[in-house]
Amino acid sequence: DGGITQSPKYLFRKEGQNVTLSCEQNLNHDAMYWYRQDPGQGLRLIYYSQIVNDFQKGDIAEGYSVSREKKESFPLTVTSAQKNPTAFYLCASSPTWGQLGGTGELFFGEGSRLTVL
Amino acid sequence: DQQVKQNSPSLSVQEGRISILNCDYTNSMFDYFLWYKKYPAEGPTFLISISSIKDKNEDGRFTVFLNKSAKHLSLHIVPSQPGDSAVYFCAAWGNTGKLIFGQGTTLQVKP
């Protein structure tokens, strides 16, 4: 089945530790995205990648880092510099960046819940 | 600065009735709008979209209406079913190439 796989589904971290969330897609999509969901705040964009070997900061990139070395993979590292990392993290992809030439739909993974102890 | 706003955090309707979820936006450069449905601890799933050149799009029980002059869109679900109970997000594409989401509205459909 084609889709987006995020792992782990649940992750606990001690303060001061970096953690990396995995996101893999087999949809052959060029663009990939990381969002964060907090209660009452909707989904906020952390980083996005229009194409392999390229990525851009979103609206809340501070304390996060990403890489896009392969088309199918877009891992997110939550660093110790992120002041409030406890959240639900969502990875998404789309055939192309933006809504041009398509429905504009992003395809989401199942999410990863990170809790800082 | 919240560019896409869903001012009702929650909505409760009776099964079989109409559910109307509202969304307002502030950026006139937004030209494509989407609605997503999300269950707890899962990723959002796409429901329906509308381009700014249209004022209505329908897909089965779901209809999205767009009022560009008011910068307002709404999602109508008719008839509502208990399985529709979820969080609904509206989202908008603009010239920045970012998909901006609203805060979400939790819909509860009572049997």
The answer on pLDDT for B53 being more than 70 is yes
Residue B95: which of B51, B31, B33 has the closest Cα?
A: B31
| pLDDT tens-digit profile, chain A (117 residues) | 679 999 999 999 988 899 999 999 999 999 999 999 998 788 999 999 999 999 999 999 999 999 999 999 999 999 988 889 999 999 999 988 776 656 788 999 999 999 998
Distance of CA B1 to the CA centre of its chain: 19
Least CA distance to A47: which residue of chain B? B98
Task: Measure B17 CA to nearest chain A CA, in Å.
Answer: 26
Residue A107: which of A96, B93, A79, A116 has the closest Cα?
A: A96
Mean pLDDT for chain B? 94
Distance CA B22, CA B90 (A): 8
Instruction: Output phi, psi for B83, to 5 deg.
Output: -70, -10
**Across the interface, do B43 and A110 touch by the CB < 8 Å criterion?**
yes
The whole-number pLDDT of residue A53 equals 94
Q: Compute the half-sphere exposure of residue B94: CA atoms within 13 Å on the CB side of its CA.
A: 13
pLDDT digits (tens, 9 = 90+) for B60-106: 999 999 999 999 999 999 999 999 999 999 999 977 778 999 999 99
E-strand stretches of A1-117: 4-7, 10-13, 19-25, 31-37, 43-49, 56-57, 64-66, 76-78, 87-94, 107-108, 112-116
- Sole residue written with tokens 């897909």: B59
The whole-number pLDDT of residue B31 equals 87
A75's tokens: 């891992």
Least CA distance to A93: which residue of chain B? B99
Task: Measure B36 CA to nearest chain A CA, in Å.
Answer: 9
